[in-house]
Amino acid sequence: MNRKHYILTILVLVLVFAISGCSNNQTPGAQAEAAEPEINLDQINAFLNESGGLGPDGIGNIVAVIPHAHIDGPKNESPFYAFVTFRYRARDYIKYQVSYLSCTCREASVNMWQTMYVELTLPESKNPDDVKIKYISFDKDSTGHYNGGHWGDSDPMPLGQTYELYKTEYISFFPKKDSKYIHSLNTIDDIKVEEYQAGEGRGNYTIDALSGASVSANNIIRILHSIMDYHAQDEFFKN
């Protein structure tokens, strides 16, 4: 190594040590200020609704990313996200489309998401616990004219359960249930037989009919938790 290269190497090393020393001598507060700010969901949702034609003044309705606790067959939970792709406030209720991943046991090539269409009330009490499910569907909306929902899980499922079974017996269980009750459910195991069979024509329905297909059923509960929590943040409940 010639003298010129030697001197250059020494200077580089001194500069590295100097920078390292300055960095190590920073106070925790200064280090925190230097760190990149953490992005949260409120910031993400604000950005989505203030750009790209979305939000109140855009060509599309308000959208949002919402957290939920995904649950698999063995009841392992994973923090995950769902997407509110449509939100519209009527006089005494709000319409939502929520897209989410339910069944994760399939190959990646068919690991498709599904969309819940749900209408949640705006109760006179303005108490979020009193919010009720006005309508819920994975196909037609409440007018019967538009396809607000989409069933993305298997149909039929490995043990033979079909979407029609879910629609007729399970999904139909939720209308008129309030937020307090929905949040009392963690999985379908928490639904009492007498509650499930209450109502005209439901006397022969059993939760056991969903055995081996609980992932779809349980994640419907989890998404209802999440969309009701999101619903409770509406300005209606703050006035």
Instruction: Retrieve residue 141's tokens.
Output: 């909306």
On the CB side of 156, how many CA atoms lie within 13 Å of its CA? 8
**DSSP alpha helix (H) spans, the chain:** 3-24, 28-34, 41-49, 163-165, 179-184, 193-196, 214-231
The pairing of beta strand 133-137 with beta strand 77-89:
unpaired
pLDDT at 212 (0 to 100):
86
pLDDT at 35 (0 to 100):
58
Q: Check: CB of residue 120 under 8 Å from CB of residue 133.
A: yes
Any residues with CB less than 8 A from the CB of 198 and at least 6 apart, and which? none
pTM: 0.83
53-63: b or e for each residue (b if 16 or more CB lie within 10 Å)? ebbeeeeebbb
Cis peptide before 156 (omega within 30 of 0): yes
**Digit-coded pLDDT (tens) for 62-92:** 999 999 999 999 999 999 999 999 999 999 9
pLDDT at 190 (0 to 100):
98
Extents of the domains making up the chain: 3-34, 41-238
pLDDT at 36 (0 to 100):
63
Q: What is the 3-state secondary structure (H, E, C) of 59-123?
A: CCCCCEEEEEEEECCCCCEEEEEEEEEEEEECCCEEEEEEEECCCCCCCHHHCCCEEEEEEEECC
Overall size of the chain counted in residues: 239
pLDDT at 25 (0 to 100):
47
Give the single-character DSSP code of 37. Answer: P
pLDDT at 21 (0 to 100):
45
pLDDT at 37 (0 to 100):
67
Which residues, given as ranges, of the chain have pLDDT below 70?
A: 1-37
* Cβ neighbourhood burial of 43 (10 Å; 0-12, 13-18, 19+): exposed
* Cβ neighbourhood burial of 12 (10 Å; 0-12, 13-18, 19+): exposed
Quick one: which H or E segment has residue 137?
strand 133-137
